[in-house]
Amino acid sequence: MKRILIAITAAAAVCIPAADACTSMIVAARASATGRPLLWKHRDSSGDMNFVERTLPTDSTYGFCALYNGGDSLLLDAWIGVNDAGFAIMNTASYNLAPDTATVRDMEGRVMAIALKRCSSVEQFDSLLRSLPRPMGVQANFGAIDSDGGAAYFETDDNSFVRYDVDDTPEGVLLRTNFSVSGAEGEGMGYIRYANAQHLAGAAIRAARVSPQLLTDTLSRSFYHSLLDRDCAADTALRWIVDQDFIPRHSSVASVVIEGAVRGAGNGPVMWTIAGYPPVGHVVAARPDSVPDALRPLQPGFTCAEAVENAARMRLAFPIDRGSGQRYIDMQALRPIMDEQRAISLSNYNSKP
C-alpha cells in the first residue's frame, strides 16, 4: 500500500492529460456471442499514436498487456488492458461528476496501471479505489471485468465512487460515454454517441449476441447519427460530411475489445486492438503474455507500426489541411478503405489465436 501511495503522489507532476471523449461498453458473458465477457473502449485522445506492450510479472504483481500513449517509454499510464489473472480495466472521462478542484489530476491511466499489476478481480479493484489517497486525481467511469464473472462500472471522482454492476441489468450490458449516471443530470458529454451505440448494438443486445467484431467493426466504423437518424456512410450520394457526434471522431486513436476469460473454460483473454483511427484500421490480437510486433513500440517516437500505417490511411479520409479541414471527412475516399480493413479484421477474428 505504501508503494501505491508513493506511485500516485510522485506521478502528479508528470502525468499526461486523460482522453477527452470515449465510448465504451461492458458485456456480461450471458449477453456475449462468444460466451465470454467483453470490455470495449473506443478511445479518443489528444495524442494521435498508441502502442500495446507487455509488462512482466514479479513476485508481488501480475503481468499484463495494455494500450499506452505513444512516447510513454516508462509504461506509466495504461488506458485499457488485461492481466494474467484475467482482470481487465478501461475508462472514459466523465464531465458531470464533482468539480475537479484538486492539484492532483489526470491520474486515470496511472490508477489503471496499478490495478493491472495488483488486482485479480472486480472486487479487488473496488478495494483498491477505497484505499487510494484522496484526492485520487480522477474524474472517470472505470469499467472492469474478471474471470469469475465480475463486471462493473465505477463512476469515480477525487474522493468517492458509485458502482454499477452489469449483473443488475436485465440485458447484461452497460454503456458509458462522457457522463456519469450518478453525476449532475443533463451535464457532461457524449449523449448523442451514447444513443448511437444503443441504436447500433440494440438488436445484438436484445438477442444476447454482442460480439467483439460488432464493437470494433460496426460501432467503431459507424457514421450513424442518432439525432439526425441517418447513416452517413450508407448514403453513397454523400461525399463530404462534418465530423460531429459520430462514435468515431477525428480525435479517435484506438478501438479495443478485451474478450475476457471464463474460469475453468480453458481460454485466456484476448485484447483485440485497432491502433489508430478505427474506421481505417483493422484488429490485431494480443494476449497478456504475447503482444505481436505490429502493436509493440518499435517505431520512432515509441509508437507501433499499426498506428503509423493507420495514420497514412487516415490522411486520405481527412485530405483538407487548410483552415478547419480536419472537421470534414471525404466519405468517397473512406468507404473503400473501411471495406478493405473490415475484411482484414474478419480474417483476423476467424483465425483467432
Task: Dump pLDDT digits (tens) for 48-57.
Answer: 899 999 999 9
280 phi/psi in degrees, rounded to 5: -110, 15
C-alpha cell at 86: 484475467
C-alpha cell at 310: 493507420
Please give the CATH number for the structural domain made up of 2-350: 3.60.60.10
300 phi/psi in degrees, rounded to 5: -55, 140
Q: How far apart are CA 300 and CA 305, in angstroms?
A: 10
Per-residue pLDDT, 267: 86
Whether a cis peptide bond, with omega within 30° of 0, leads into 135 is yes
Per-residue pLDDT, 21: 87
Per-residue pLDDT, 17: 39
Contact between 313 and 278 under an 8 Å Cβ cutoff? The reply is no
DSSP 252: E
DSSP 231: E
Nearest CA to 280 among 336, 349, 215, 325? 336
Per-residue pLDDT, 219: 98
Per-residue pLDDT, 226: 98
Q: How far apart are CA 22 and CA 15, in angstroms?
A: 19
Per-residue pLDDT, 12: 40
> Which parts of the chain sit beneath pLDDT 70?
1-19, 353
Per-residue pLDDT, 104: 83
Q: Return the half-sphere exposure (C-beta side, CA atoms, 13 A cut-off) of residue 281.
A: 31
Which pTM was predicted?
0.94
pLDDT tens, position by position, 81-99: 999 999 999 999 999 998 8
Per-residue pLDDT, 121: 98
Q: How far apart are CA 201 and CA 195, in angstroms?
A: 10
Q: How far apart are CA 239 and CA 84, in angstroms?
A: 46
Please spell the DSSP secondary structure of 46-110, one letter per residue: SS--EEEEEE---SSS--EEEEEETT-TT----SEEEETTS-EEEEEE-SSSS----SS---HHH
Per-residue pLDDT, 1: 42
CA distances from 105 to 92, 137, 158, 190 (A): 15, 4, 8, 21
E strand intervals along the chain: 23-27, 38-44, 50-55, 64-69, 80-83, 88-93, 140-145, 151-156, 161-165, 173-176, 224-225, 230-231, 240-242, 252-259, 270-275, 284-286, 328-330
